[in-house]
Structure 1
Amino acid sequence: MRYRLTFIGGVVVGYVLGARAGRERYEQLRKSAQRVVQNPAVRNAAETAGQTGRGVALKAVDAVASKVGDKLPPQVAERVRRLRSNGGPVGDDWGTSNT
């Protein structure tokens, strides 16, 4: 799936850079992309995906830490302790709020 999205992104960039339609078509595409990014449904989906990813990462940290135990390097062990003490996903504020 990642490769498909990369390919589609490359096609879009290639079209924009190589289009003979000119500046008007470029502006039209840019405005359409901005509408998609600013759509509340898209923003909510991105926020949900981020929260799910953080939750899965915490579960993975717990699974690895329980299997590896004391064999972790001190820096990694400290990071695991900090993640566990937070009690949940770490919040971020890079544009995924509904405000």
Structure 2
Amino acid sequence: MPKMSFMVGLAAGYVLGARAGKQRYAQIKEVSGKVWNSKPVQKQVAVAKENARTKAAPVVADFVADAARSTGEKLRASRTIPSQVSDGRDRTTGGDPWVVSGSTRGEDPWASATRHTGS
């Protein structure tokens, strides 16, 4: 595969850098089209697509999920209620982490902290 990408890069560089006129460009375009549409090249393209679908996609999905989780944690940390301590227990409610001052028992602290109060 590295050989193929080198050849494609070489051909592209030549096409972009060539000053031989339209006839040479048309010739290069025709040859590159034949190479691109050849069975060995298309077989490698299919392999690369399959690898991207089966191997890269789950890695990317995990990366995006981790980034979303991290962002959510940062957002929650920026909205921490002053009465809460670092271990997540609220001292004003007997240490129950799901009860925040001014919220309904059992309510998610994030929902309570982000509720619009109409100030």
What is the TM-score of this pair, normalised by structure 1?
Answer: 0.45
Write 1 or 2 for the structure with the bigger share of helix. Answer: 1
Structure ID, larger Rg: 2
What is the TM-score of this pair, normalised by structure 2?
Answer: 0.39
Report 1 or 2 for greater relative contact order, CA contacts < 8 Å, sequence distance ≥ 6. Answer: 1
